[in-house]
Amino acid sequence: MDAAGFIYDLKLEHVFGISRESRSVQRTFIVALSSRGKTGYGEATENRYYNVFAEDLQSAFEDLVPFLRRYEMTHPAELWEEIRHRTGNFRFLMNAIDEAAWDLYGKLHGRQLTDLWQLPRTDLPVSSYTIGIDDIEVMQEKIREKPWPVYKIKLGTGNDEEIIRALREVTGKPFRVDANAAWTPEKTLRMAEMMKDLNVEFIEQPLPADAYADMRRIKDKLPLPVIADESCRTEADLEKCFDAFHGINVKLTKAGGLTPGKKMLESALKSRKITMIGCMTESSVGISAAAQLLPLTRYADLDGPLLITNDPAEGVRVTDLGYVFPDEPGTGVRLKADL
């Protein structure tokens, strides 16, 4: 294979605020793997919470390039195991390579991944649209600007209750609340009780990532389901999350790619847990890969391309009515010519 990678700055349409940071640019690392005239693409975004930066991804990738150029593509799952050993289980980089490998594999075989996996693209969950933390008036205006079937509301402030009630004045559409690990057990119980009659579907990651015991203690007292995000990174976290949460949010970047991400969702379904596919504000490269797993999910948060102004690629298109899958093999991604 030929192998290349580059850093790209995704410019956000609005300042994006969560409980622990705000940003106007999302840096990302895009990988291209080529063989027999076909090219597959994958992506991993920079993330300060996980202490992963774009330069780290690029440096580790460049160390792998000689191996990748010697590698004869057989099956992405086999390459994933090779990369896992060669990168010390560096999941963010593994994800970018795995997405590219699956995209390439599908293109080489002339088939879309959902077809290869025999996953029907019917009754797919519509993606939420994220409203980041900001002044309440700004958050209200974002909702007015973007009519959408369901919103993810970022919380984790000192006036969370005021925010929810104020946003409810603007729209009656369902909310999904994401505290990004900023709440205490007591606040989680209080907020869940307050929100149960405000058309809130679930709470995502209310407590710190390692607070499994506290989450187990309050889970059955909550009137709303709770979904694990920061607590559920890889396959190793599944059993703890199955005990402490009603469901899991799989993000391919932290999981390490489509190969483990698909297994995680299948395991959750087998255990009768709520399944969700999420994103880290990726471009259409990463979102098109994640969209291949939508048939395994009940909820989706794949709004990355909707939040940026300079998407470097075209692929699966996220709309308020669902998804438009391109009539192309693999994940359907292609980079724009003006890059």
The domain segmentation of the chain, as residue ranges, is 2-114, 120-335
CATH number assigned to the domain covering 2-114: 3.30.390.10
pLDDT band at 339 (very low <50, low <70, confident <90, very high): low
CATH number of 120-335: 3.20.20.120
Report the relative pairing of strands 226-228 and 200-204 from DSSP bridges: parallel
Where residue 148 falls among pLDDT bands split at 50, 70, 90?
Answer: very high
- The whole-number pLDDT of residue 337 equals 77
Alpha-carbon distance values, 321 to 147, 249, 304 (Å)? 11, 21, 16
Q: Give the C-alpha separation, 171 to 168, whole Å.
A: 5
Could you tell me the CA-to-CA distances from 244 to 154, 180, 206, 247, 266 in Å, in that order?
Answer: 21, 16, 12, 9, 18
Q: Are 325 and 303 in contact (CB under 8 A)?
A: no
Q: Per-residue pLDDT tens for 199-256?
A: 999 999 999 999 999 999 999 999 999 999 999 999 999 999 999 999 999 999 999 9
Look up the pTM and report it.
0.96
Helix runs in the chain, H state only? 54-70, 76-87, 91-109, 113-116, 136-145, 160-168, 185-195, 212-219, 238-244, 252-255, 258-270, 284-291, 304-307
Residue 286 has pLDDT above 90, yes or no: yes
Q: Can you say whether the dihedral through the CA atoms of 330, 91, 35, 40 is positive or negative?
A: positive
Give the residue among 49, 31, 143 at the shortest CA–CA distance from 97.
Answer: 31
φ/ψ bin of 330: left (φ > 0), alpha (ψ from -120 to 50), beta (otherwise)? left
pLDDT in tens, 196-215: 999 999 999 999 999 999 99
The kind and range of the H/E element at 16 are: strand 2-18
